[in-house]
Each structure stands twice: as C-alpha cells, then as structure tokens.
Amino acid sequence: MSEETTMNNEAVVAAEEVVSNGDNNNGLSKEEQALLGKKYLKPRDYILFSLARFASSAVTGLVQGYLLYFYTSCVGINASAVGLMFLITKIFDGLNDPIMGAVVDKTRTRWGKMRPYLFFGAIPWGIITIAMFLPQVYAGMNMTGKIVYMYVTYLAYGLLGTIIGVPLDGIPAVASPNTDERAKIISISRILGSIGEQSALVLLTVFLLMTHDDYSSSYMWMGIVIGILGPIFMLLGAGTIKERLEPTKETPSVWEGFKYLFKNKQFMLLILSNLLTFFRNLVSAMILYVVSYVIGKGSLQIVFSLPGAAASMIGMMLAPKMRKMMDSKKLFIVATIWHSIALGVIFFIALAVGVENLRETWGWILLAGLMFVAMIPVGILNVIPHLMATDTLDYWEDKTGDRCEGITFSLMSLRSKISSGFKDYVLSFLLVYFMFAQPMGYIESHKPLQTEFTKTGLVMIYTIVPAITNLVSIIPILFYKLSGKKMAEIQSRLEISRAKDAARLHAESNGVTEEVAADVVETAIVNDIVNDVETANEAEITSAAAEEVFAEAPKAEEVKVEETVAPAEDVFEKPAKKAPAKKAPAKKAEPKAETAKKAPAKKPAAKTTKSTKSDK
C-alpha cells in the first residue's frame, strides 16, 4: 500500500473527528459508542447457568429444610447434639467464605477464575449430599459413631458448598460487560433458584405417597435424586457460561479482603443493610408454626410455601423491568416498604376476623391469598442486593482499577449466614416470650395445646414483627450513593474498556496475536469512519467544509488510530514533516470500499497525536 493512501485514510479519520464533534454529546468516539450496548450472552447462557443455580438451590434447600428432622426423627440423634453441631460448623463455614473469596481472586486459568471450582466441586458435593441422607449407613452405628459421621459429612458439605457457592454467585458479575445482561441473568437465575429451593418439598410429597409415609426412605430418595441431577446441571452451566471480564493483575490476600469491606464504603453500607434484612426471614420460618398451631393443619405447609415461592418468582421477574423505571436504591426502598405495609395489613385483618377463625377454610384461604401479595416484593429484594453488589464492584474498579468478585460475594455469603444465625436467635427468643409450649419428643405425635396469647404471638411473629423491624434495613441504604446518573457514568466508562478487553481476549483465544488483533480492529474502525463521514456529508455537511478538511489532509503526519482519536485541531495545528513520497490528490480518499479494504496491515510508525482520553 502506498504512503499517500495511508495519509488519506488518516485524513478521513481526522475529518470524522470534526464531523462528530457537533453531535457527540457524551464525548465518546464513534468506536466507543458502537461498543456501548453490545450483547454478549445467548439464550443458552441464561438457561444453562440458571439451571446451575436451580441445582445449587435444590441442594441447599434440601439440607437446610430437612436435615434437622432427618437427624432427630429418622436417625435418632439428640436434638441438642444436632443444634451444637450446626452452631460449630456454621461458624467454621462462615470463616471459610472470605478465604474462598481470596482464593478465587488469586485464581488464573484458561477457564477463568471462577468456573474451575464448579467443574471440580460439583460431583463431590453431590456425593456428600447423598451420603448425609442414607439411613442404612447410620443403622449399624452406635450414638457416638452417628454423631462423628454427622460432623464429618456436614463439615464436608459446608466446605464444598463454599467452594461451589462463592464462584457461582460471582459469575454473573463477569459473564458480560453489558450491565443490562448482567441484571437479566441474575434475575432469571434467581427465579430458577427459588424454584429449586422448593424442589425438595415437591419430591418429599411424591415419595411419601409412593412409600406410604415412610420418611426415612423418602428422605433417602430425595437425597439421591438431588445429589445426582444437581452436579449434572451445575456442570452444564459451568461449561456454557464464559468469563468475559479480564481479571485485574492484583490478587488480594484474605486480610486485604476484610480491609476491602471498610475501604469500599458503598459495599459496607450494602452489607449492613442486608444484615438487617434477617427480620424478613421470620415470615418463611414461621409458616410451619402457623399452620400447625394456629390453623391446626400441618399438611397446609405446601399450600402456604408453594404460592409464596410463586409470588417471589413474580417479584424476581418484575425486578429488571422496575429497575428501568427507577434505580436500585429506590427500588430496594419501595419493595421493603411494600412488603412491610402488606404484612401490617394482614396482621390487622387477622385481628379483625379473629385468630381462631383462621382455622376455618375461608380463614386460612384468606390468609394464604394475602400472603401471596405480601411475598411479591420479597422476590424483588432477592434480586436487587446482588445487582447493587455488582454496582459496588464497578464503582471500585472505576476508582482503583481493581475488581474483587471473589471477596465481594464471599462476604455476601458470610452476611447471609450471619443473618440466618440472627434470625434463629430472635425467633427462639420470641417463642419463649410468647410462651410457646414445645412438643415432648419422647411422646409420639405429641402436639401440645397453645394458649390464645401464644397463638396471637405466633401470628405477630409471622406478620407485624417483621413488618416493623424490616424497615430498619432502609436506614443504611439512605446513605448509599451509587444510583442514578453517577452509576450510569461509571458503567458507561467501564463498558467501553470491558468491551475492548473482551474483543481482545476473544481474538487471542482464537489464536490471533495481540498485534494482529489490534490491526484488524484498526482497519474496521477506519472503514466505519469512512462510512460515517460520507453519510454525514450527504445529510448535513457542506461540500465546501469537506473540501477544506481534505485539502489540509496531505500536510498531516500519519495518524495512529488508537482507542480514542485526537481532536482535529491538534492534528491541523501541529502538522508533521511531509513524507518524501508523491502526494496523491485528496479525492482518492473518497471511494469507500477500496479505502477500507486497503487499510494498513501495520500500525504507522510516525509520532502519534495526544489522546483525548485525558481531556474527557
């Protein structure tokens, strides 16, 4: 290619800068504008990653919802021994989360820094899940052996759950540079996760019918089905999704991870607010008590649990649409107030119709219908904190250049476990306060009578107590600043750089060297700019102005096409030395197709103009 053609191509680039200055209100080049809004995820990414979330939630829903009953009623381990085991292992499990977060952030493999842990942890996690629910294993053991086996298997379950859970929570943050796609995949995966949490309840109902109420066998088959299908779904999800955000060079230590919590004040406010949402969890924890002792029909648990889960899923589907109407901060506040008002209304309606009348068919149908409405905002509140967590990651990356997905989501997981502990403590305290009479374990099917004071108290714990206390979680969010225009500016800057990184990583993964990839991108940019200039000339730019620009083009030095093109005034005010080669007429730059095809294969060697990046 001749030097004259090269110089004319560069003159076109300079002309484009002049043309675009008038209508480029956001200060971005055409190349950068093209990168904004680019889509990366395919339908299969959403489906298969959401199946991985479904599988993970199915395992945790099985263990958290049914293991206590299995240990005490099917295996015969004393309840106090089981409670002590849960306390010790949860403390150990909680300490593992930040360590795992630091390990994830230090990981560098060709699969990314998160997916490898799903590949290698899914199958062992499924095996341990099955092992915990095998009554035959416990049958030949004495009490000491049962307790030892219980500790070993549950500790292994917790450790493998951390290895799976922390990366699984972090993958949506790196799956796409596009913020809308990240919001969408979080919302969809959380919906399927909510369904997964209820899968054990459905399986239990089916197996109890098949085994004629044999709980030991039903629990065993639940563990086998979920323990086999769960790893398969997780491997499918891990094998499909990709990590498109390049890890930062810094690899924080565990201690730096804890310091990050206090350095990133926006993330600390989010964690504090989410710690206070444990009051909301009293609602789901009280379902069994309300149906068993207020309504008097324990079989109605499925009637309250499944519609509540369906309402929560509706809220999860609404979250992305509502987020387009308002930012995450406002949506969090609105959903929290909505949930509290609904619970308050249910409490006063229950008092108006009489707590005793809730035993009637019309009474519990009314209660279940009202709770359906109250649970819709819970689905929104299950999605929004994770979107806000990705916002704090973007804020920190924009501020420091570092991303700490592992640390961030490990601390979110730790927060969840601490909240669960607070919920159990507060629930135990309130049950004692309202004089709840516990069943006697040594009397089969013993169900003690509860006083009217206790029944009213159970309804209060189910409704008005979380309605009032849940509002406390809004206070830290009032000081949260990552909303509206500020977050849009941060994400706009990051989306451009991420898109470029993703394109470079994609080229390198296909065997293209960095230099060749840069040349390909450079050629494409020149081609696009020529097209844009011609379109602009036909529409608005006068031929006289265009001729003036192109007349000065031969005087300009070879201009290197970088991420941002220098302002046109810099090009024309500081012309470089003329090249010794013959100058071609400027009109040769006008044919679009030939110029684009003959774009230089190598970057020009001459001096480059000053980048506009610093001017922005």
Query: Model confidence over 70-81: pLDDT tens digits?
Result: 887 788 888 778
Q: Which of 282-286, 380-384, 534-538 has the lowest mean pLDDT?
A: 534-538
pLDDT digits (tens, 9 = 90+) for 116-162: 999 999 999 999 999 999 988 988 889 899 999 999 999 999 899 98
CATH 1.20.1250.20 location in the chain:
41-242, 264-480
What integer pLDDT is reported at residue 447 of this predicted model?
63
Q: Are residues 136 and 219 in contact, defined by beta-carbon separation less than 8 angstroms?
A: no
The three-state secondary structure class of 483 is coil
Average pLDDT over the chain, rounded to whole? 75
Mean pLDDT lowest among 211-220, 262-271, 492-501: 492-501
**Cα–Cα nearest to 391, from 371, 362, 374, 412:** 412
Contact 272, 90 (CB under 8 A): no
How many residues are present in the chain?
Answer: 616
pLDDT at residue 54 is higher than 70: yes
151 vs 575 pLDDT, higher one = 151
- Residue scoring higher pLDDT (22 or 326): 326
Between residues 296 and 555, which one has the greater pLDDT? 296
Which pLDDT belongs to residue 616? 34
- Could you tell me which residue, 213 or 264, shows the higher pLDDT? 264
At 3, the pLDDT band (50, 70, 90 cuts) reads: very low
DSSP 8-state assignment for residue 198: T
Q: b/e map of 299-325 (b: 16 or more CB within 10 Å)? A: ebeebbbeebbbbbbbbbbbbbebbee
167-197 pLDDT per residue, tens: 898 888 888 877 788 878 888 888 888 888 8
Task: Read off the pLDDT of residues 484-522 as tens digits, 9 standing for 90 and up.
Answer: 788 888 878 877 776 666 566 556 555 555 555 555 444
**Token pair recorded at residue 343:** 């619970």
> CB within 8 A of 411, min separation 6: which ones?
97, 98, 101, 257, 261, 267, 271
Specify the pLDDT at position 304. 84
First vs last Cα of the chain: how many Å apart? 34
How buried is 599 (Cβ within 10 angstroms: 0-12 exposed, 13-18 middle, 19+ buried)? buried
Q: Residue 219: is its pLDDT beyond 70?
A: yes
CATH number for the region 264-480 comes to 1.20.1250.20
Q: What is the pLDDT of residue 74?
A: 82
Given a cut of 90, whether residue 306 has pLDDT beyond it is no
**Predicted pLDDT of residue 477:** 92
pLDDT at 377: 93
- On the question of pLDDT at 461 being above 70, the answer is yes
pLDDT of residue 604: 43
Q: Mean pLDDT, to the nearest integer, of 467-491?
A: 88
Residue 602 has pLDDT above 70, yes or no: no
Q: Which CATH superfamily is domain 41-242 in?
A: MFS general substrate transporter like domains (1.20.1250.20)
The H-assigned helical ranges of 290-444 are 301-325, 328-353, 361-400, 405-433
